[in-house]
Amino acid sequence: MDKSALSLAMGVIALPFVLLLFSLHTVMFNEQFYHEQFERNGAYEQWGEGTVNEVNTQLLQFYKHNTPIASEFFNDKEKSHLADVRSLYTFAKGIFYLSLAVLIISLLMVKERAQRAKMLIRGALLALGIILFVALLATTNFASSFTAFHKLAFTNENWMLNPETDKLITLSPESFFVAFVALILKNTILLSLLCLGIGKALRSRSVC
């Protein structure tokens, strides 16, 4: 495989990671999304809007900056799981920056406009294929897919929360995560279509 073909392949593979993980970041720190979900799942009614919003602000600061959660809203088991979630997010952020670097380098190494167009088009189509696969898994049986993800992503069982004793599971029930995943997929689809459009525009200009 020559250098140009290798760069093309690396860019095609990197693009879906960039789009998916960027979408994950934007949804994860979208405060409006949390407000809507807390309103729908009754969290505001159960614990009060001020309390829930303060806890959520601390939680997002913990994810973003590792700022300790000062509130006693969560018990030790929940805080341990939240620390695991932060570690997973930090890993995902590292993969995002690595994929972004690979994508940029690949675009710079491919000199021909037609090849750059091919990279964007193929990468966007690959991203859409991944989204379709995830969507099929989620719609077939979201609960089973969600459980399988937790078993794969975490090395302990702190994610197995009890609604009788753990507030986190009632703050973010299954419906929360269904909406969370759906919004990530929606955003990724829009970004993929944008890349597809840019790729096709580049391809048409290279032909002219």
SS (H, E, C) the chain: CCHHHHHHHHHHHHHHHHHHHHHHHHHHCCHHHHHHHHHHCCHHHHHCHHHHHHHHHHHHHHHHHCCCCCCCCCCHHHHHHHHHHHHHHHHHHHHHHHHHHHHHHHHHHCCCHHHHHHHHHHHHHHHHHHHHHHHHHHHHHHHHHHHHHHHHHCCCCCCCCCCCCCHHHHHCCHHHHHHHHHHHHHHHHHHHHHHHHHHHHHHHHHHC
* Six-digit token string for 63: 């994810």
pLDDT of residue 138: 82
Mean pLDDT, residues 200-205 taken together = 88
Start-to-end C-alpha separation, the chain? 29
pLDDT of residue 64: 93
pLDDT of residue 5: 87
Q: 24: closest CA among 144, 127, 142?
A: 127
* Six-digit token string for 100: 């972004």
Q: Name the residue with tokens 């993800």.
A: 149
- Report pLDDT digits (tens) over 28-70: 999 999 999 999 999 999 999 999 999 999 999 999 999 999 8
- Report pLDDT digits (tens) over 71-94: 899 999 999 999 999 999 999 999
What confidence tier does 207 reach under pLDDT thresholds 50, 70, 90? low
Residue 1 has pLDDT above 70, yes or no: no
Q: Which residues contact 114 (CB under 8 A, 6 or more apart)?
A: 202, 203, 206, 207
SS3 165: coil
pLDDT of residue 206: 64
Q: 198: closest CA among 110, 108, 124, 104?
A: 124
What confidence tier does 154 reach under pLDDT thresholds 50, 70, 90? very high
- Report pLDDT digits (tens) over 97-152: 999 999 999 999 988 889 999 999 999 999 999 999 999 988 888 888 888 999 99
